[in-house]
Amino acid sequence: MRSQFFLSLAAGTAALSFAAPAFAQDAAPERAPFDGLYVGGSVGFDAQPSDARSTLLFDRNLDGTFGDTVTTSTGANAFSPGFCNGAATSTAPVACRNDKDNISYAGRIGIDKQYGNLVAGVVGEFGKSKINDSTSGFSTTPASYTFSRSIKYNANLRARVGYAANTTLFYATAGGAYAKLNHRFTTSNTANAFASRGDRDVWGYTGGGGIEQKLGRHFSIGLEYLYTQYKDNDYTVRVTQGTAPATNPFVLAPNTGGTDIIRSDDKFRSHSVRATAAFRF
Same-domain check for residues 166 and 134: yes
Same-domain check for residues 84 and 122: yes
Same-domain check for residues 95 and 225: yes
Q: Checking DSSP bridges between strand 56-59 and strand 259-263, what pairing results, if any?
A: antiparallel
Same-domain check for residues 90 and 221: yes
Q: How is residue 30 annotated by DSSP?
A: P
Q: Under a CB-based contact definition with an 8 Å cutoff, are residues 148 and 181 in contact?
A: no
CA nearest neighbour of 232 among 112, 148, 119: 148
Residue 50: per-residue pLDDT: 85
User: How many structural domains compose the chain?
Assistant: 2
Same-domain check for residues 13 and 112: no
Same-domain check for residues 13 and 77: no
Same-domain check for residues 162 and 264: yes
Per-residue tens of pLDDT for the chain, all 281 residues: 434 433 443 444 334 333 434 433 443 456 799 999 999 999 999 999 988 889 999 999 999 999 999 999 999 999 999 999 999 998 878 889 989 999 999 999 999 999 999 999 999 999 999 999 999 999 999 999 999 999 999 999 999 999 999 999 999 999 999 999 999 999 999 999 999 999 999 999 999 999 999 999 999 999 999 999 999 999 999 999 999 999 999 999 999 999 999 999 999 999 999 999 999 99
Q: For the chain, what is the radius of gyration of the CA atoms?
A: 31
Query: Where are the extended beta strands (E) located within the chain?
Result: 36-47, 56-59, 82-84, 87-88, 96-97, 102-115, 118-129, 132-139, 143-165, 168-187, 193-197, 201-215, 219-231, 236-240, 259-263, 267-280
Same-domain check for residues 51 and 185: yes
Residue 29: per-residue pLDDT: 54
Q: Checking DSSP bridges between strand 168-187 and strand 201-215, what pairing results, if any?
A: antiparallel
Same-domain check for residues 16 and 116: no
Same-domain check for residues 86 and 21: no
Q: Under a CB-based contact definition with an 8 Å cutoff, are residues 155 and 182 in contact?
A: no
Domain coverage including residue 129: 35-280
Same-domain check for residues 112 and 221: yes
Residue 91: per-residue pLDDT: 86
Domain CATH number, residue 239:
2.40.160.20
Q: Under a CB-based contact definition with an 8 Å cutoff, are residues 128 and 151 in contact?
A: yes
Same-domain check for residues 25 and 79: no
